[in-house]
Structure 1
Amino acid sequence: MPVIIGPQEIKEFDVDAMAIRVFLKALEIIGGPRKLIEYRNLTWITSLMEASYAIVLAEEAFKTEDDIAEFLGLTRQTVRNILRAEPELVLKKLEGELQEKTPRAHTAGGLAKLAYKEIKEGRDALVFFSAVLQESAKVLGVGWPAEVLVRIKGLSWPADPEEVAERLAGLVVDGKALDNIVREHEGPIDHPRVLLHYLAQKLKEA
């Protein structure tokens, strides 16, 4: 009886872990959190995270545009723009687009594609960058999304709020302890993108 070997099933945890690696590499390519802080434009954080997930889901988990759109809560056209982005073109006009308040899907997609390529080719030395990332987030007090992602690396998703809260202990943004905010979350947290969205909403509340 023949044995048919198909694409290896990708666990949700593996997708999350790779998406975070791609995100951090993309942020490194931009110039680190200080570059976003320079433009007072942290909306790039969410866009890069979504693009990182889209690229990983397409390349590693072989998901369709519709699957990715449903998973990320984006339109199919937005996902298509991310997946069809040209990394080389993005790099040429990156400096100007960093000043835009709402990043274009193809720009974030191009950066995520480039980051993914760098990782697959073995250029994934993020240890030094991660240390700088954490320090700048603590000192400047505005790079919390990147700091959160660094702290939750290695978690299995969906994750228990208490487990996430333990990782975020001591991280305070605008006078609010992020671990206490996470403990208020009802039920498991599906993946990092959901966590960032939840924290951003709570921090905006009075």
Structure 2
Amino acid sequence: MPIVVGAEEIKERDVDAQALRVFLKALEILGGPRKLIELRNLTWVTSLMEAAYAVVLAEETFKTEDDIAAFLGLTRQTVRNILRADPELVMMKLEGELQEKTPKAHTAGGLAKMAYREIKEGRDALIFFSSVIEEGAKILGVGWPAEVLARIKGLHFPASGAQVAERLSGLRVKDRELSEIAAQKESYAHPRELLHHLAEALRG
């Protein structure tokens, strides 16, 4: 029997794919995954992925700030800062802000908006090399936030560590099972808390 995929599911997959392209393009603008590793600043990975989703959800699905905030586990003000960021202004200050351990929402937002614009205007090498870059990101251990967010989609927060671990089963980063790391906490208030916990554990 053929598997019938609903229009809503296709739409969700499109958002995931587009957010990943924006995320990878933003990494490329930053100087590639190795740039973050050289700076020992992988906290940017989570912030960039959140910003990529926020921009795509706003531009492609016309979600409200409240909807985006609820999906990503962010405050409405953080989402607003992401969506109102000035890409050109961010690029002027980027070199100094790369040294910061926790990037400001408008910085990540500016990068995501610039990446989204580059893709929309056809200046996107990822069209041809996305599979290579995505695989490289996985090898370097920076592509996992996209997969985590995709897997926990539809899970209501707060969620127990056991619920999250079940969704992440089989997902490994740096030879570590993310489900085992997720199960270490009893519960998570929102997706951002989960991503932060995973990032801290992987950094250790």
Return the TM-score normalized by structure 2. 0.70
1:29-67 deviations in whole A, cap 9, x for unaligned? 101011111211111001001101110111111011111
Q: Show CA shifts across 1:142-172 (max 9, x none).
A: x3132x36889x9896699789655x46x53
Q: Give the partner amino acid of 1:98.
A: L
Closer, same or farther: CA 104–130 of 1 in aligned 2, 3 Å: farther
Q: Is 2:132 the counterpart of 1:131?
A: yes
- How many pairs were matched up? 183
Pair 1:130–1:97, CA change in 2 (3 A):
farther
Report the structure, 1 or 2, having the larger helix content: 2
- Aligned equivalent of 2:25: 25
Matches of 1:88 and 1:133, distance apart in 2 = 26
1:90 aligns to what?
90
CA contact (8 A) 1:16 1:157 kept: no
CA, structure 1 residues 103+179, in 2 after alignment: closer, same or farther (shift >3 Å)? Answer: closer
Q: CA deviation at 1:69?
A: 1.1
* Inter-CA distance 151–46: structure 2 relative to 1 (3 Å threshold): closer
Unaligned runs of 5+ in 2: 1-6, 156-163, 185-190
8 A Cα contact 2:165 2:179, kept in partner: no
Residue in structure 2 matched with residue 40 of structure 1 by the alignment: 40
In structure 1, runs of 5+ residues without a counterpart are: 1-7, 186-191
TM-score by length of 1: 0.70
Aligned ranges 1:102-113 → 2 under 5 Å? 102-113=102-113
Name the CA distance, whole Å, in 2 between partners of 1:106 and 1:16. Answer: 21
Question: Alpha carbon RMSD of aligned pairs, Å?
Answer: 3.7
Q: Deviations over 1:2-45 (max 9, x none)?
A: xxxxxx97822221111111101101110101111121111100
Identify the residue that residue 200 of structure 1 maps to in structure 2.
Answer: 199
Query: Which runs of structure 2 are paired with 1:20-169 in the superposition (5 Å)?
Result: 20-126=20-126, 127-128=128-129, 131=132, 134-135=135-136, 138=139, 143-146=140-143, 148=144, 168=171
What secondary structure is seen at the aligned counterpart in 2 of 1:40?
coil
Once the two structures are superposed, residues 80-125 of structure 1 have per-residue CA deviations (whole angstroms, 9 ceiling, x without a partner) of 1101001111111111110111101111000000010111112222
Change (3 A) 1:150 1:157: closer
Note closer, same or farther for the CA distance 1:151–1:72 as it changes in structure 2 (3 Å cut). closer
1:12 matches 2:41? no
| Secondary structure of 1:145's aligned partner | coil
State the identity as a percent: 63
